[in-house]
Amino acid sequence: MKRIPPLVAKELTELRRSPSIFLPALLTGAAAILYPFVIAIIVPYFAGERLSNSGDFELATQMFRSQPEARRLTAEGAIQAYIFEYALVLMVGLTTVTGSMAVAAHSVIGEKQARTLEPLLATPVTTFELLTAKVLGAALPGIALMVACFTVYVGAVAIFAERGVWLMMLTARSLALVLIMGPLAALLGLQLAVCASSRVNDPRSAQQLGALIIVLPMAALQIAQFIGGVVLTTSMILALALLLCAANAVLMSVAIRLFDRESILTRWK
State the average pLDDT over residues 18-41. 84
Domain region containing 62: 4-266
Q: How far apart are CA 82 and CA 225, in angstroms?
A: 10
Number of H helices and number of E strands within the chain? 12, 0
pLDDT digits (tens, 9 = 90+) for 141-199: 888 888 899 999 999 999 999 988 999 898 888 888 888 888 887 787 777 776 666 66
SS3 151: helix
pLDDT band per the 50, 70, 90 thresholds, residue 238: confident
CA distances from 252 to 215, 224, 259 (A): 20, 30, 10
Q: How far apart are CA 269 and CA 161, in angstroms?
A: 55
Contact 36, 84 (CB under 8 A): yes
CA angle 45, 49, 61 (to 5 degrees): 110
Residue 92: the pLDDT is 79
pLDDT digits (tens, 9 = 90+) for 241-266: 898 889 888 888 887 787 766 655 55
User: 210 pLDDT exceeds 60?
Assistant: no
Residue 155: the pLDDT is 95
Q: How far apart are CA 83 and CA 42, in angstroms?
A: 13
Q: How far apart are CA 83 and CA 66, in angstroms?
A: 16
Mean pLDDT of the chain: 76
pLDDT digits (tens, 9 = 90+) for 102-126: 666 566 656 655 566 666 666 778 8
Nearest to 102 by CA among 210, 8, 175, 216: 210
Question: What's the total number of domains in the chain?
Answer: 1
Residue 203: the pLDDT is 53
